[in-house]
Chains A and B, each alone.
Chain A
Amino acid sequence: MSVLSEHLIEEIRELPAKYPQPRSAVMPALDLAQEEAGYLTPEAMSEVAAALNLDPGYVEGVATFYTLFHLEPVGKHRFYVCTNLSCTLRGATDIVEHVKSAIGVHEAGELSKDGFFSYEEVECLGACEYAPVMRLDHRYEKDLTANKIDALIAERRSPTKAAVAHAPLPSPLPEGERAKPKPRARKPKSG
């Protein structure tokens, strides 16, 4: 049983042609796999490796180098809170404490009870003029306060407002063009 869908594997097989050398496809491919599977399991990485004709150990070596690849389950909404200098000068430490208590976790990476949230302390996000800052659901949340964080969490917990919280994800592909997912072949209904 493969963990990645057939059409995703097909999409990954088409990636190398987009680059001057095929190996460059490894990160975009891992990105697609992570988007579909939530995080990168050893099986998912092996399947990426097979689709790209690379050694699984090599693919894992790349995945473990970069912080945006996750090798463990992450909450559906992960708070990437910047705690580098400019943010710390403007209260990032309190922001982290508030996030922890608001989602009810003790440490970075831990999933909230409902599996919805987790947080991570990250290095400078390149938005220091809005410190303290975090990245959440592919958007930056700026000038953070405890109230702002509570509102962001409430939005994501309330099903009616959920649409707001799920901004369309940017495509990980180089040109931002995704091949249209091909309809999966269905087994003909018997009878």
Chain B
Amino acid sequence: MAEQRGTVGGPVLTEWFATKDLHKLDVYESLGGYSALRKVVKEMTAGQVIDEVKASGLRGRGGADFPTATKWSFVPKDHPGPKYIVVNADESEPGSAKDRYLMENSPHMLVEGAAIASFAIGGHAAWVYIRGEYDLPFEMLRDAIAEARAKGYLGDHPFGTDYPLEVRLYRGHGAYICGEETALLESLEGKRAQPRSRPPFPAVKGAWGMPTAVNNVETLSTVPWIMRHGGAEYAKRGTEKSKGTRMVTVSGDVQKPGNYEIEIGVTYRHIIEELAGGPIPGRKIKVFWPGGSSAKVLPASMLDTSTDLDGLKALGTMGGSGGIIVMDDSHCVVKGAARLLRFYAFESCGKCTPCRVGGNWAVRTYDRILAGQGSQLELGILERVSDGLQNGRCLCGLGDAAGWVIESTMRHFRNEYEEHCLHNVCSVEAALVNA
């Protein structure tokens, strides 16, 4: 059993997490596990499965919020060759750890969800691309798949039917960009992971040239619950347009970091102050990243923002991967942004110039600023670089994300940037020394 730091016994995803040995097939099954897959392969058509998921309103939890049923329906029904579900288990977005939490605690939930998804698109194999550092989740999935195969729930005749279903594993080897779905497909095909230009979209030409739907771990882990209880039941939770529950990872300057299952629509204040225990005693929250390091930051004055996906979009930020990074008044925003830019520059795959060059420009500029050599010039460079990275100038979202970190931290914490650049002081550190 994996260690747990977060919700157990939540409404949907973590419903059974308090049960010991949930990772074992007999325990998972005793609670109702695999009843959804059984029903799907024995009693339903692919179209009915898609309709049920459509009724749930489920949107992808990998970052882009795309409706899951719609994605599946893009996969051509009449394609003669293989079609694939590819599970994105590459989770490497700074601040996000929820897919690991789900896989470690309930690997069968993902296996079941991936098999249902394969059935829904008329495919027979799901490939799980899992980041190489995730040794424990890999082992748990490997064992779960072996158990399901031995029991006859996967294989040539799942539950005695003639609809073959397989779930296979593929390990990544350390590259954030593999989380981007087309880079992931390149990697799965044994290549350097550089995003593809679209079209063609993966639904038409994906893994090994075949129609493919790429889905996040959490997205697919939600599917068995939806099939057990019905899409309408899931849609009762959440907000008008953002249905259901989701996982968030809270990390950084809080008392109880962890993975929490929330009903979409609760506020960040609720998550950070209630669930995650609020700030470290004596400190004040200054800023938070609402959906992974790639989501534009919000200052603490906006803690009452709802987790509604469209509401976040309207604010120019996003729910993203659900990774909430909290920073308090003892930490410098400029340093935090500099650290993230180093990340984006390092992880750039190098395919397009604005991202490859812009990221490194930003890193060098931050280095100068933090070495006390900043000036008005550096502020101007950061603004230009940030602009150059955004608005479709890059092939994939990594470039935009790097730009958003610069832009949003500068917008809300202009004073910290100016003090660094124009007066060569870190007001945060100065305050700590004087305290």
Residues of A within 8 A of B (CB): 20-21, 23-28, 30-31, 61-62, 65-69, 80, 83-86, 88-90, 122-131, 135, 138-140, 142, 170, 172, 174-176
Could you tell me the distance in whole angstroms from the C-beta of A146 to the nearest C-beta in chain B? 20
Instruction: Give chain B residues whose Cβ lies under 8 Å from the Cβ of A124.
Output: 92-96, 293, 343
The reply to whether B138 and A170 form a contact with Cβ atoms under 8 Å apart is yes
The reply to whether A125 and B133 form a contact with Cβ atoms under 8 Å apart is yes
Contact A175/B135 with A86-B252, A124-B95, A129-B5 known, Cβ cut-off 8 Å: no
Contact A23/B257 with A88-B339, A125-B133, A128-B97 known, Cβ cut-off 8 Å: no
Name the CB-closest residue of A to B178: A66
Could you tell me the distance in whole angstroms from the C-beta of A105 to the nearest C-beta in chain B? 21
Which of A65, A66, A175: most chain B Cβ within 10 A? A65
Name the CB-closest residue of B to A64: B192
Q: Is B82 interfacial (CB-CB < 8 Å)?
A: yes
Instruction: Give chain A residues whose Cβ lies under 8 Å from the Cβ of B253.
Output: 89-90
Residues of B within 8 A of A (CB): 3, 5-6, 82, 91-97, 99-100, 131-136, 138-139, 142-143, 145-146, 168-176, 187-193, 207-208, 210, 249-253, 257-259, 293, 323, 325, 327, 331, 336, 339-340, 343, 346-347
Q: How far is the CA of A135 from the CA of B193 in the complex (A)?
A: 23
Please give 18 more A-B residue pairs, beta carbons under 8 A apart, in addition to A66-B173, A123-B343, A142-B3.
A20-B208, A21-B190, A23-B190, A25-B190, A27-B171, A27-B187, A69-B173, A84-B340, A85-B336, A86-B325, A89-B327, A123-B346, A124-B92, A126-B91, A126-B134, A127-B100, A128-B96, A170-B142
Q: How far is the CA of A80 from the CA of B132 in the complex (A)?
A: 13
> When A and B form their complex, what is the total count of cross-chain residue pairs whose Cβ atoms lie within 8 Å?
159
Contact A172/B171 with A62-B192, A84-B339, A89-B327 known, Cβ cut-off 8 Å: yes
Which of B136, B173, B190: most chain A Cβ within 10 A? B190
Q: How far is the CA of A172 from the CA of B323 in the complex (A)?
A: 28
Q: 15 A-B residue contacts at CB 8 Å? A: A21-B190, A26-B190, A61-B192, A65-B193, A85-B95, A85-B325, A89-B336, A123-B346, A123-B347, A126-B131, A126-B134, A129-B257, A129-B258, A172-B171, A175-B142
Name the CB-closest residue of A to B337: A85
Name the CB-closest residue of A to B91: A126
Name the CB-closest residue of A to B349: A65
The reply to whether A129 and B249 form a contact with Cβ atoms under 8 Å apart is yes
Could you tell me the distance in whole angstroms from the C-beta of B271 to the nearest C-beta in chain A? 13
Q: How far is the CA of A176 from the CA of B143 in the complex (A)?
A: 9
The reply to whether B134 and A84 form a contact with Cβ atoms under 8 Å apart is no
Q: How far is the CA of A72 from the CA of B275 in the complex (A)?
A: 45
Q: How far is the CA of A141 from the CA of B94 in the complex (A)?
A: 18
Q: How far is the CA of A69 from the CA of B174 in the complex (A)?
A: 8
The reply to whether A126 and B97 form a contact with Cβ atoms under 8 Å apart is yes
Could you tell me the distance in whole angstroms from the C-beta of A46 to the nearest C-beta in chain B? 17
Q: Which of B94, B100, B174, B327 contacts A84 (CB 8 A)?
A: B94
Q: Which of A31, A85, A142 contacts B340 (CB 8 A)?
A: A85
The reply to whether A27 and B249 form a contact with Cβ atoms under 8 Å apart is no
Instruction: Give chain B residues whose Cβ lies under 8 Å from the Cβ of A25.
Output: 190
The reply to whether A139 and B135 form a contact with Cβ atoms under 8 Å apart is yes
The reply to whether B331 and A89 form a contact with Cβ atoms under 8 Å apart is yes
Q: How far is the CA of A8 from the CA of B96 in the complex (A)?
A: 37
Name the CB-closest residue of B to A16: B190
Contact A129/B336 with A176-B139, A176-B142 known, Cβ cut-off 8 Å: no
The reply to whether A126 and B100 form a contact with Cβ atoms under 8 Å apart is yes
Could you tell me the distance in whole angstroms from the C-beta of B370 to the nearest C-beta in chain A? 13
Instruction: Give chain A residues whose Cβ lies under 8 Å from the Cβ of B169.
Output: 174-176
Instruction: Give chain B residues whose Cβ lies under 8 Å from the Cβ of A85.
Output: 94-95, 252, 293, 325, 336, 339-340, 343
Q: How far is the CA of A83 from the CA of B3 in the complex (A)?
A: 22
Instruction: Give chain A residues whose Cβ lies under 8 Å from the Cβ of B339.
Output: 83-85, 88
Name the CB-closest residue of B to A18: B168
Could you tell me the distance in whole angstroms from the C-beta of A37 to the nearest C-beta in chain B? 16
Could you tell me the distance in whole angstroms from the C-beta of B124 to the nearest C-beta in chain A? 11
Q: How far is the CA of A172 from the CA of B172 in the complex (A)?
A: 10
The reply to whether A123 and B208 form a contact with Cβ atoms under 8 Å apart is no
Instruction: Give chain B residues whose Cβ lies under 8 Å from the Cβ of A28.
Output: 171
Instruction: Give chain B residues whose Cβ lies under 8 Å from the Cβ of A62.
Output: 190-192
Q: How far is the CA of A30 from the CA of B190 in the complex (A)?
A: 11
The reply to whether A175 and B191 form a contact with Cβ atoms under 8 Å apart is no
The reply to whether A68 and B133 form a contact with Cβ atoms under 8 Å apart is yes
